[in-house]
């Protein structure tokens, strides 16, 4: 990653020091009582961070231009990343996209033996912001602790490349990675796909294409607080957490206004996979949600739809966390533990991947395992 500025380094150090405070001290410094919504208590460190953001008075992300929004996202990621997690090696490369090469980053696990599984990772950011740098920290953690090689793909972003261009990029990149896993030093029989938020939605689209036989089948799909319903239907979590917890309804609308063309059908399965009639044949899935996230309910509803279709699913809600915790592990203990837990689940499921029904569990009914 690029060298961080003195300001970013100072803010990152300060955030890490505040993370070391006892929970009671963090709540006291936030200036308000513990935040409890829907029977869930917000993590004390997250509560303090929200209070500090409010006191600093940074402009809401949805008021920024696209260029400034990307810079803001990059700076926040750099502050929150903490110290880089060591891995075996890191190499920048290019992979094929729909209209030309895409930037990518390959992380190899330091564990001996092999070949190890490969996780093709798709970053979040509402299809408008984010890149391999903003998600460098979680990719390192997953690589080091899940025992997998990670290929992080930087697909084209809207508004320069609106729907379906980013979907087309990901489809081509996935097909190439699955077919060239051995050249990337990985096990061709254990190639997974996953991502957070928009990256989770893109991973779902690839898994659907694989279920129809259009691209190679993933061994596993890792869906971290994915968006699964782009229609006007509102869930309870959207009403409860529409404002004040990082991802807001206004910011969701800002993303949609940039990446979704006027007149396009919001029920398109690539945008609203929750509405797909038949989900049978999908790869086994890990679905991770956050308690204080407007997308919580639609992610969990999608896990239930997969289960109903006979697909093995592990569903994990982190009730005290927020949309975006994947990137906060460097400055928040609860977020760090959540990412480490996810790494353990990926390790376990890919280790027994040959025993999972890659056709979606048609002979054995699927189940949602809540952990």
Q: Annotated active-site positions, please?
A: 197, 293, 323
Closest of 193, 222, 223, 219 to residue 351, by C-alpha: 219
Return the structure tokens found at 79.
């502050």
190 touches 350 (CB < 8 A):
yes
What does DSSP say about strands 149-154 and 116-122: parallel, antiparallel, or unpaired?
A: parallel
Q: How far apart are CA 157 and CA 166, in angstroms?
A: 6
206 contact partners, CB below 8 Å, separation of at least 6: 170, 171, 174, 193, 215, 218, 221
327 touches 138 (CB < 8 A):
yes
Q: How far apart are CA 71 and CA 54, in angstroms?
A: 19
Closest of 113, 93, 110, 91 to residue 101, by C-alpha: 93
Closest of 168, 204, 177 to residue 311, by C-alpha: 204
DSSP 84-144: PPP-SEEEEEEEE-SSSEEEEEEEE---SSSPEEEEEEE--STTTS--TTTTHHHHHHHHH
Return the structure tokens found at 41.
């208590």
Return the structure tokens found at 121.
């990772």
């Amino acid at each position: 990653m690029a060298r961080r500025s003195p300001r970013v380094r100072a803010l990152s150090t300060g955030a890490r020091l505040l993370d070391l405070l006892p929970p009671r001290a963090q709540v006291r410094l936030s200036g308000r009582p513990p935040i409890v919504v829907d029977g869930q208590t917000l993590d004390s460190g997250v509560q303090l961070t929200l209070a500090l953001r409010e006191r600093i008075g940074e402009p809401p992300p949805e008021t920024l231009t696209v260029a400034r929004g990307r810079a803001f996202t990059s700076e926040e990621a750099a502050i929150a990343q903490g110290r880089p997690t060591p891995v075996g090696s890191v190499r920048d490369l290019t992979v094929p996209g729909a209209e030309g090469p895409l930037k990518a980053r390959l992380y190899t696990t330091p564990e001996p033996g092999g070949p190890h599984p490969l996780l093709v990772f798709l970053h979040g950011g509402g299809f408008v912001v984010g890149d391999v740098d903003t998600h460098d920290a979680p990719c390192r953690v997953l690589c080091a602790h899940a025992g997998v090689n990670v290929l992080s793909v930087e697909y084209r972003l809207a508004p320069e490349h609106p729907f379906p261009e980013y979907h087309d990029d990901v489809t081509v990149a996935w097909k190439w990675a699955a077919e060239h896993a051995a050249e990337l030093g990985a096990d061709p029989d254990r190639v997974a796909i996953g991502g957070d938020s928009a990256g989770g939605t893109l991973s779902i689209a690839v898994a659907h294409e694989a279920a129809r036989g259009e691209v190679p089948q993933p061994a596993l799909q890792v869906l971290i607080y994915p968006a699964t319903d782009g229609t006007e239907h509102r869930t309870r979590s959207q009403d409860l957490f529409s404002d004040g917890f990082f991802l807001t309804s206004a910011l969701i609308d800002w993303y949609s206004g940039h990446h979704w063309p006027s007149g396009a059908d919001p029920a398109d399965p690539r945008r609203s996979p929750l509405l797909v009639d038949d989900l049978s044949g999908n790869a086994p899935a890990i679905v991770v949600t956050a308690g204080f996230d407007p997308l919580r309910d639609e992610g969990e509803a999608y896990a239930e739809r997969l289960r109903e279709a006979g697909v093995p699913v592990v569903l994990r809600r982190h009730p005290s966390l927020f949309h975006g915790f994947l990137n906060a592990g460097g400055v928040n203990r609860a977020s760090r533990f959540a990412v480490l837990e996810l790494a353990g689940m990926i390790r376990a499921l890919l280790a027994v991947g040959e025993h999972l029904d890659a056709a979606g569990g048609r002979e054995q009914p699927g189940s949602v395992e809540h952990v």
